[in-house]
Amino acid sequence: MCSKWLSSSASDHVQRIEIVFPIVGHSFIAPDHVFSHVEKDVRKLECILRPEDYLEIIGTYSTIVRMGSDCEVLNFKSGMSSVIKDVGSWHFQFKYCKRFLIQRSKEIGNVVIQGEVHYTNNLGVLKKITRKNKKASDLNPEVITQNIVRIKPAKLVDVKKLLTTHFGNEWENEEGFYFYRSVLSHTSSLEEEEDASQEVTCELQVEERCL
């Protein structure tokens, strides 16, 4: 994300980004502190059924921005694979680094990256991590659309069992369980659409063979 921003959107006077981890693998940015407060309040509650209950707690400590409606969510994970090399083939060992330096490359639209295991000494070298004939500016992640994540059937079965165990067989008729009803019905409709699509595909293949 930083490489994309620096190569495509940052002002010309911004030539370099330095990311520091006081503890390897852990950041001490503001959201982490907020999360600790939220977690304490959540643990005090015996049962949370509605998403609004979580939002109320989170809103006590921060401003709520709804992903997908208030801001777009980009799928950098899938978008990176065709542009950025696998971490294992980078010129430094990612997991041991405490600092990362990202700098504009002489090649317009690209960046070079350096990983350091020390906080003050720069012993590494700046190199590209992009694939052949690719630039960081080529990163164009797709927008993640709401309500398209398909929950595994086994997980849905577990959820139904838990709800039935704790709230009885008539839990679906209770007003407070609208979220679970929505998730279960939406997932079922997606599965039905997928099954129908597969049936149509099979029919077309059979017709082609007959011809």
Q: What are the pLDDT digits (tens) for 104-151?
A: 999 999 999 999 999 989 999 999 999 999 999 999 998 888 766 677
How far is residue 186 from each of residues 48, 170, 182, measured CA to CA in Å? 21, 20, 6
Task: Please write the tens of the pLDDT for every residue from 40-88.
Answer: 999 998 888 888 999 999 999 989 888 878 888 888 888 898 999 999 9
DSSP structure class, residue 106: S
pTM of the model: 0.64
Domain chopping of the chain, boundaries? 2-138, 153-210
Is 67 in a helix, a strand, or coil? strand
Q: What is the DSSP string of 139-157?
A: --PPBPPTT-PPPPHHHHH
Q: Given this model, what pLDDT does residue 68 score?
A: 77
What is the model's pLDDT at position 60?
Answer: 92
Whether 206 shows a pLDDT value over 60: the answer reads: no
Looking at per-residue confidence, does 207 or 64 come out higher?
Answer: 64
Residue 191's pLDDT is 52
Q: Average the pLDDT over 151-164 and give the result.
A: 86
Is the pLDDT at 192 greater than 70, yes or no? no
Give me the pLDDT at residue 28, please.
64
Q: Which of 19-23, 24-28, 163-167, 198-202 has the lowest mean pLDDT?
A: 198-202
Mean pLDDT on 5-26: 87
Residue 87 burial (C-beta neighbours within 10 Å; 0-12, 13-18, 19+): exposed
pLDDT tier for residue 195 given thresholds of 50, 70 and 90: low
The residues, any chain, with a CB within 8 Å of residue 8's CB and separated by 6 or more, are: 109, 136, 137
